[in-house]
Amino acid sequence: MPEAGWSTGTARAAGGSRNFKLWIPTTPQSDRASPLLMVLHGCRHDANDMAEVSGMNKLADRNGFLVVYPEQSRLANLLKCWNWFDLRHQTREGGEPSILAAVVDQVRATHPVDPDRIFVVGVSAGGAMASILAATYPDIFAALAIFAGAEFKAATSVSEGFAAMKCGGPDPLRQGQLAFETMRSGLAQRKRKRMPAIVFHGAADTHVSPVNADQAVIQWSKTNACLAAEAGDSFAVTEEVVEGTAVGGRAFEKHVYMEGSHPLLEKWLVHGLGHAWSGSPQLTKYGDPNGPNASSEIWRFFCEAAWNAPSCWQSPDSSSKK
């Protein structure tokens, strides 16, 4: 494993090229290949901003996983938003999904990465793009996290994008079926039993309505039902609702959806939280330290939900209580 800390690179694909920053943990999992987490920033941000807001690098050091932060170009979007609302960037082998897949390929070419433990998390525009990536490249990504984002293909134009942010996207059951159909090309490369997803949203988010969190859960539940049907499996989930208060003071509702004994979906609604990262190391415009630690909870979920992958979770100090 190369020296710990930051390294940089540029990935190229049919859709173009993007720079990225890679965080190499101080304590890698020396006995086996490392998990890899792709983190997609929101509008106006870059890799450093996302690392600072999420505190993900410190978590990576503790748990021994790699973190790659692709960076959107102002030439592709003036506000540096991922173009989740554009049809050109919603398919496999083209647009931004192909570039982001190339980022993973480049990291795998230079570092020992466990192919069963590659995950994607995105916030805001990055969250909406995470949904697209999970559907277009299920042969790469084992699970996804959506923070203040949207369901798969919630919009196909700028105007629809703004409407989805305020009022939600199309019927999530239809979008769930559409996501499954989009997954077929990737599934032909590598079968995927399920696509676990965890969703975080602030109940006081006025930038992206919390209805998008509900839709994302319904959409990925439908997509997973389609995956089960394709495999000839029965499919049923049970829901448990846990209410609690984070150490920092914000109350939350945690919805856990289990398929048998296996975690499949989670939804966290954080009361009083706006359009900001919950459990951020410090208070900023886009980071709120008073909510549950989203980074820790997302990584914990990935480690619990990843199918056929060894455990990758080292429990930190508790960030919330029932």
CATH number at residue 116: 3.40.50.1820
E-assigned strand segments in 155-280: 197-202, 238-246, 251-259, 262-270, 277-278
Question: Tell me, what amino acid is at 35?
Answer: P
The answer to whether the beta carbons of residues 287 and 276 sit under 8 Å apart is yes
- The label of the residue with tokens 């394709």 reads 230
More confident residue, 316 or 75: 75
Handedness of CA 298, 61, 276, 153 (dihedral sign): negative
* Window from 105-114, 288-297, 308-317 with minimum mean pLDDT: 308-317
What pTM was estimated for this model as a whole? 0.93
Give the C-alpha distances (Å, rounded to integers) separating 124 from 39, 156, 253.
12, 16, 20
CA atoms of 157 and 90, how far apart (whole Å): 11
For position 116, what pLDDT does the model report?
Answer: 93
Report whether pLDDT(13) > 90: yes
Q: How high does pLDDT run on average in the chain? A: 93
DSSP 3-state of 216? helix
Model pLDDT for residues 37-58, shown as the tens digit of each residue:
999 999 999 999 999 999 999 9
As a whole-number percent, the residues of the chain with pLDDT over 90 amount to 87
Residue 81 in tokens: 């938003």
* Window from 48-52, 66-70, 86-90, 307-311 with minimum mean pLDDT: 307-311
For position 316, what pLDDT does the model report?
Answer: 47
CA angle 55, 129, 24 (to 5 degrees): 35
Q: How confident is the model at residue 26 (pLDDT cuts 50, 70, 90)?
A: confident
Report whether pLDDT(322) > 70: no
Q: Tell the burial category of 51 from Cβ atoms under 10 Å away from its Cβ (0-12, 13-18, 19+).
A: buried
DSSP 3-state of 163? helix
Report whether pLDDT(321) > 60: no
Provide the residue range defining the domain that includes 179: 5-321
Give the C-alpha distances (Å, rounded to integers) separating 106 from 100, 150, 206, 282.
10, 27, 37, 32
For position 306, what pLDDT does the model report?
Answer: 76
Q: How confident is the model at residue 93 (pLDDT cuts 50, 70, 90)?
A: confident
Report whether pLDDT(128) > 80: yes
Report whether pLDDT(137) > 80: yes
| Count of domains forming the chain | 1
